[in-house]
Structure formats: structure tokens, C-alpha cells
Amino acid sequence: MKASTSIDRRTMLKRLGAIGLAAPFGAVAACADSGRTSRFQPTATPKATTAAAASSMDHGAPLTGAAASQTAQGAVTLPFLPVPVMAPPITRNAPGEVLVELESVDVKGRLAEGVGYDFWTFNGTVPGPMLRARQDDIVTLKLTNKLGNNAGHNIDLHAVTGPGGGASLTNVGVGETKTFRFKATHPGVYVYHCATAPIPLHISNGMYGLIVVEPAGGLPPVDREFYVCQGDIYTPGKTGDLGHQPFDLASMADERPNYVVFNGAMGSVAGERALKARVGERVRIWFGVGGPNLTSSFHVIGEVFDRVATWGSLTSMAEHVQTVTVAPGGATMVEFGVEVPGTYVLVDHALSRASKGAVGELVVEGTASVPDLYAPA
Ligand SMILES: [Cu+2]
């Protein structure tokens, strides 16, 4: 997908401003002056940091000619990373064997409009693919560290029982492959992540994902399943500084991210990449937090979750939940029906993070299916 055809940051912030969720960076002063914070007001374009400007030249991104006149200086134009892959529901009614092949891949991608980042990934996406097994399956996991990468990696899956969760068995230098096996004894939804030091750096750069271990009896069927993970990303300067942004160790040590994003980038779960459903369908969202640091208060504006896999347990559901707390290294599953058409906004309800990217969209099409559920009086 080309970046130009996806929702851009300004469009996202306009939408957020319209529902009172964001005073866009760069627009805060103007909003304060006017005494309004719920309306987008264009202001001066954020300036690229010196480092970012230099970096953007390294990556060949500066634009020239007519394009440059319409594009802020220092901006880099990069596509989003691909949408992460989800394994389909398990249809077996007995334990079996599952083979998972993961490859760590360094890849440049879009962090926000005009902002690039060097992601470290499993299989080229953030989060990595959603893995799936059935309770008591034997999972064989093969991890390859792609030639040309810049660091060693491994994988710790929280569904694993054993020291390091697989990390000590999968330390791979660049170009290496290692394989290990585990029995998925506990049903639930679990985070996996790279556990190579410094671990929070590897996680922040994108090396996390979810593994679902379905209970022996399976899960109730739904019409749509979605996969969203939240992560916090640390860059120098300010949110929205243009150009290719490096990782910033000091900000991470202070737990002060410039970006708090769903699926790796600001606007990654919106526009053409929004979650989509139709009125009358049942929806299931697998939601995890890679972090490395911030706990999410996951909420879908305009919905109440019918069932929630509290702390990721698929055998003890909570019902009728507004917001679910998901810790770094934790995950949940939420289910609900969609009865009223429109756009439902996914947020971390620590809402200052909305302007750092913790926003997504679920677009529901169709005609309202339940009379009197929602209407003007
Ligand atoms: Cu790693």
C-alpha cells in the first residue's frame, strides 16, 4: 500500500480534534489562544530536528521540485509496514503439532506522516504475526536472524513453560537459525517478544506479537477477528518531528515515549487500514501490549465489551466491560456485537496518548439493526 493512499497524520488529527481527543502537536498554542482544544487549527509545520534532517539525507528521502513545495522540509515518505498476519482459528478437536517459522527482519518504515523509523521486526511487521495453537499442541518454532540485520535476537513466548520462555534456546546471531519445541499447556492469549539485551530496545523497535492458545473446546465462532498491539516508541525531539528518527535511549530510560501506537505507526489502524465490519456481526479483537513500558487502558468509544479475556485468560471471561487494562507483556481478547453503523474509535483511554498515535478505527457499515438502541430524541 502506498503511503499516499493511506490516512495521513493531519487527517487523523483532524478526526481526533473533531471528537475532542487531540490537540495536535504544533497546534497546542493556537488552541490555547483561542480557548478551544477540540478543533483542529492548522499551524506552523513542525521542523525537522538536525539529526533527523541529516538522517533523511542518508535515506535519500528529501523531495525536490513541485513535490518539495508541498512537503515540509525534512519529511521522509515511507509506506506503512504490511498489516500483520493472523493465524486462522483452530479447527482440530485433538492436540497436534504446529510449525512456526519466524524471521527477524530490520526494515525502514513509516512511523507517522513524514516520519521514518528503523523497525526491528518478526517477519517484517509490527506486531509480528499472530500465532495460534490448541491446548496441548506441540509447537516447533524456528527463528532465523536475516542476513544484513544489525543485532542478535531471540524469542521469549509467554505461553512457554521453561526458563526464558524459549529465549535461551533461540539466541541467533545474524544469519543464524535455531529451533526449539514446547508444549502449549495453558490456554490463553500471550505476548511473545525478543528478549535480547537491551530487551526494552528490541521490544520498542517492534519485536513483539501475540500467540493464542485455544482451549481444548475451542472458541465460539465470530464474524470478524482483528489483531491490534500497542507499543511505545522513543525518539529524540518531539512527536511529529519530521525526518528519519533514531531511537532515543534517554527517553526510554525515563519512560517518556514520543509515540504510543497501534500496530507500529500513527494511523496504522485507520483509513484504508481501519478494522471493518457490518451491522449485525460479532467482532473479536485480540489486543496486546508489547510496550516496553506503558500499560494500556484499552477502550472502544461507543461500545461495551460483551466478553473480555481478563489478563488474557480464555477460561475466565469478564462480561459487560468498558475499559480493560493491559500491561506491557500482557494481552486480552474482547468480543462485542455491532448494532449501529458508524466509526468506532479504538483508544488507550489514557487519552493524552491519542495525539501520540494510540488511536484506531473500527468502521461499521450497514443499517441499524436494533430499534431504539441509538437515535436522536
Ligand atoms: Cu531482538
| Number of C-beta neighbours around residue 175 at 10 A | 11
The count of residues in the chain is: 377
376 pLDDT tier (thresholds 50, 70, 90): confident
What average pLDDT does the structure give for the chain? 87
102 falls within a domain: yes
Q: What is the pTM of this model?
A: 0.85
φ and ψ at 337, to 5 degrees?
A: -95, 155
| Number of C-beta neighbours around residue 199 at 10 A | 16
> Which grid coordinates belong to 164?
526464558
Contact, 322 vs 235, CB < 8 A?
Answer: no
List the CATH number of the domain containing 121: 2.60.40.420
For residue 307, report the distance from its CA to the centre of ligand 1, in Å: 34
Q: How many domains does the chain have?
A: 1
114 falls within a domain: yes
pLDDT tens digits along 35-49: 332 322 223 333 333
What gap in Å lies between CA 79 and CA 152, rounded to an integer? 26
Q: Residues with Cβ < 8 Å from 65, sequence gap 6 or more? A: none
For residue 316, report the distance from its CA to the centre of ligand 1, in Å: 32
SS3 sequence, 217-265? CCCCCCCEEEEEEEEEECCCCCCCCCEEECCCHHHHHCCCCCEEEECCC
377 pLDDT tier (thresholds 50, 70, 90): confident
27 falls within a domain: no
For residue 154, report the distance from its CA to the centre of ligand 1, in Å: 6
pLDDT tens digits along 112-126: 999 999 999 999 999
pLDDT tens digits along 255-267: 999 999 999 999 9
Average the pLDDT over each of 67-71, 93-97, 180-184, 330-334 and give the range with the smallest value.
Answer: 67-71
Q: How much is the pLDDT for 13? A: 59
5 falls within a domain: no
pLDDT tens digits along 268-292: 999 999 999 999 999 999 999 999 9
For residue 132, report the distance from its CA to the centre of ligand 1, in Å: 21
Domain housing 101: 97-214
For residue 171, report the distance from its CA to the centre of ligand 1, in Å: 9
For residue 301, report the distance from its CA to the centre of ligand 1, in Å: 34
Q: How much is the pLDDT for 271? A: 97
For residue 335, report the distance from its CA to the centre of ligand 1, in Å: 32
What gap in Å lies between CA 6 and CA 24, rounded to an integer? 19
pLDDT at 64 exceeding the cut of 70: no
| Number of C-beta neighbours around residue 369 at 10 A | 15
Contact, 299 vs 21, CB < 8 A?
Answer: no
pLDDT at 251 exceeding the cut of 50: yes
For residue 164, report the distance from its CA to the centre of ligand 1, in Å: 14
For residue 58, report the distance from its CA to the centre of ligand 1, in Å: 24
What gap in Å lies between CA 220 and CA 73, rounded to an integer? 51
